[in-house]
Structure 1
Amino acid sequence: MEAANGPDTDLSAPGNQFAQFGAGCFWGVELTFQRIHGVTKTEVGYSQGTVNNPTYEAVCSGNTNHSEIVRVQYDPNQCSYETLLDVFWGRHDPTTLNRQGNDVGTQYRSGIYYYSPEQERAARESMETHQNTVSQNIVTEILPAKKFYRAEEYHQQYLEKGGRFHSKQSGAKGCTDPIRCYG
């Protein structure tokens, strides 16, 4: 599989599984998942769009229909998919269409992109449960995961590397420090 900046594989480590989530700007979402025990790898990228090998600039133009997503690799013996869903719901506002905070555009939409019927079922049940905790309608899309295009290298672990303000944030497992969206 070709990614935005070179080869990529969909091969997970033995026994691990993949999950994909879109919840606004992928930098903070990635750091949130990095901190979860049982998550063995995170990558930010683009999925659900119509253009092969999209670039960040193309995705931001709004013309590719891609979502900024985090692809999570996790060990289901240490972290359940349901735990990842709980983290997803807690990380963003799933009731705002194509927006998270000041970030506006279809690339910032809320989405759960599943790899199996079991993930789809769990995602739908989780959304139904979460809907009972919020007053507005949830607009999160739940769709099969499409081809994943790994984002440019500078986006990977962006906040852990220091972000825009060169202020590194911890990706350590269990870290509860507040996440600063842009560094």
Structure 2
Amino acid sequence: MLPSVSRAAAAAVSSSSSSSSSSSSLLLISSSLSKPSAPLSLLNPFLSLSKLPVSLSKPTFPQNSRLVSSHKPPMNILNKLGFGPKTPDPSSMDSSIAQGPDDDVPAPGQQFAQFGAGCFWGVELAFQRVPGVSKTEVGYTQGFLHNPTYEDVCSGTSNHSEVVRVQYDPKECGFETLLDAFWARHDPTTLNRQGNDVGTQYRSGIYYYTPEQEKAARESLEQQQKLLNRKIVTEILPAKKFYRAEEYHQQYLAKGGRFGFKQSPAKGCNDPIRCYG
């Protein structure tokens, strides 16, 4: 029932002459109800929207109102010479393989470790310089696409991280030493970003092979957090299948980078690392 509308109708009836027929009264009531002198919202502010006519209660939108994103993955040095990202074919997704453990075997007496700290060019050179590290490779891991290319990774759809897989001699180089090099190389408080490199492939991560590595990584993170006034966003996860990156990415800065200026991978070298050569 609409009280204010009823009052308007009653006023209309009382103002009519007593000689009017009953049909005229009904006509006046009908007119008052069908043509209110004020908007419904003013007549009864408590009127439920669900009871309004469809044309009033439900706004009309175009049928093809699908949201379209205009975001495009950022280009970094022409996607590091890959000349632009591409979207991977969904049919090539095989998470059962990509999400499996890294089944490669290190050299006898050696161990593996994986680190993601932004663009893998500079990160690899930093680990090349660590005494006790016998081999480094850059590649992709933690994603859902089997055998990804660099373009796949840059598309932002495969969830891979750019990492360096380090092979080291635990008798000469403890895992804690590698962790020190990892923290020193990047800002672990910026999510999916290192400097001008933006994207999930640049996220900070420690990917462990043994329970001992996991324990050391978590303890190290706690120590680092005490030194920083921003929250560390580094992920610590089991090492998953490692996909070696294209050959031109391997030891990129040591080989000269894009300008041909070789940067020293000598053990103990402290020369500043120029990320893009």
Q: Could you list the per-position Cα deviations for residues 95-128 of structure 1 after superposition, in whole angstroms to 9, with x for gaps in the alignment?
A: 0000000000000000000001110000000000
- With over 3 angstroms needed to count, the CA separation of the structure-2 counterparts of 1:155 and 1:9, relative to structure 1, is farther
Helix, strand or coil at the partner of 1:87: helix
Q: Structure 1 CA distance, aligned partners of 2:162 and 2:202?
A: 6
Specify the code of the residue in structure 2 equivalent to 1:21. F
Contact 2:103/2:241 (<8 A) preserved: no
Instruction: Provide the residue aligned with 2:90 in structure 1.
Output: none
Question: More displaced, 137-146 or 8-17?
Answer: 8-17
Q: Structure 1 CA distance, aligned partners of 2:216 and 2:103?
A: 25
Instruction: Provide the residue aligned with 1:44 in structure 2.
Output: 138
Kindly indicate whether residue 114 of structure 2 is the aligned counterpart of residue 20 of structure 1.
yes
Deviation >6 Å, runs of 4+: none
Kindly indicate whether residue 171 of structure 2 is the aligned counterpart of residue 69 of structure 1.
no
User: Which one scores higher on RCO, CA 8 angstroms, separation ≥ 6?
Assistant: 1
Q: Structure 2 CA distance, aligned partners of 1:171 and 1:9?
A: 28
Identity %: 78
Equivalent position to 1:139, from 218, 223, 233: 233
Q: For structure 2, list consecutive stretches of 5 or more residues without a partner in the other structure.
A: 1-101
Task: Name the structure with the higher helix share.
Answer: 2
Offset at residue 177 of structure 1 (A): 0.7
Equivalent position to 2:186, from 85, 89, 92: 92
Kindly indicate whether residue 125 of structure 2 is the aligned counterpart of residue 31 of structure 1.
yes
Q: Alignment length, in residue pairs?
A: 176
Q: Structure 2 CA distance, aligned partners of 1:98 and 1:90?
A: 17
Instruction: Provide the residue aligned with 1:129 in structure 2.
Output: 223
Instruction: Provide the residue aligned with 1:54 in structure 2.
Output: 148
Task: Name the structure with the higher strand share.
Answer: 1
Specify the code of the residue in structure 2 equivalent to 1:37. P
Helix, strand or coil at the partner of 1:119: helix
Q: Structure 2 CA distance, aligned partners of 1:56 and 1:165?
A: 21
Specify the code of the residue in structure 2 equivalent to 1:23. A
Q: Structure 2 CA distance, aligned partners of 1:125 and 1:82?
A: 10
Specify the code of the residue in structure 2 equivalent to 1:134. L
Q: Structure 2 CA distance, aligned partners of 1:182 and 1:106?
A: 19
Helix, strand or coil at the partner of 1:18: strand
Kindly indicate whether residue 256 of structure 2 is the aligned counterpart of residue 162 of structure 1.
yes
Offset at residue 9 of structure 1 (A): 7.2
Instruction: Provide the residue aligned with 2:198 in structure 1.
Output: 104
What do you get for the CA RMSD once the two structures are aligned?
A: 1.0
Helix, strand or coil at the partner of 2:254: helix
Specify the code of the residue in structure 2 equivalent to 1:55. T
Q: For structure 1, list consecutive stretches of 5 or more residues without a partner in the other structure.
A: 1-7
